[in-house]
Chains A and B, each alone.
Chain A
């Protein structure tokens, strides 16, 4: 089944403790992206990657890191999490930037940072 898989789905942690949210897709997609969803703000793009070893900042990259060493994986790293990073996070992927190539989203990771 074609899917985008995020882990963990839920995490409660404390300020300053490094964490990684993994994202993996099995559709051989070139484009991958991370978003955070907050009430009243919709989804905001954190980072995106056009292909392996190619990443770029989205609208709200501060406090986050990403890497794209393999095509299928795009982990999101919070080196020193803070309470304002408490949010619902989504990973998405698409074949490329063509208009007929929609983004497929994972089911989300709910992060609570105390």
Chain B
């Protein structure tokens, strides 16, 4: 059973548009929610991360929105660019055991 549910599986966005990827979880022991970006043939790389006591975090064109009561968090990519075309994974961590759980991934294609 997937501990972190991610949607959509794939996403096509026009250049300049907003890409939105959503994740949901149930385990209230999670204390850290990172997003990773993965290009073909490469390992995932940390993009941005948030703690559950913060509702929003912005870094450049990338924003995480976090809704603790709904147990949901999302990644927004503003002004999406073709270079953003990649697979994105949300994840969650349990502090006590430092175990990580990943979503199933979203393949983003930004059309020029």
Contact = CB atoms under 8 A, between A and B. Distances in A.
Contact of B44 (A40, A44, A45, A90): A90
- Size category, B interface: 20 to 34
B45 interface: yes
Contact of A44 (B49, B51, B102): B102
Interface in A30-78: 31, 33, 35, 40-45, 48, 50, 56, 58-59
Contacts of B45: 105
Interface residues of A, number: 25
A81 interface: no
A97 B98 contact: yes
Interface string B95-109: 101111111110000
Interface string B42-53: 111110010100
B104 to A, nearest CB: 4
- Secondary structure type dominating chain A contacts: strand
A92 interface: yes
A102 B104 contact: no
Contacts of A35: 100, 102
Contacts of B46: 102-103
Contact of B102 (A42, A56, A107, A108): A42
Nearest to A99: B32
Interface string B1-33: 010101001000000000000000000000110
Given A48-B99, A99-B51, A42 B104 contact: yes
Contact of B42 (A40, A42, A107): A107
Interface of B: 2, 4, 6, 9, 31-32, 34, 41-46, 49, 51, 89, 91, 95, 97-105
6 contacts: A41-B104, A42-B104, A56-B97, A59-B101, A90-B43, A97-B98
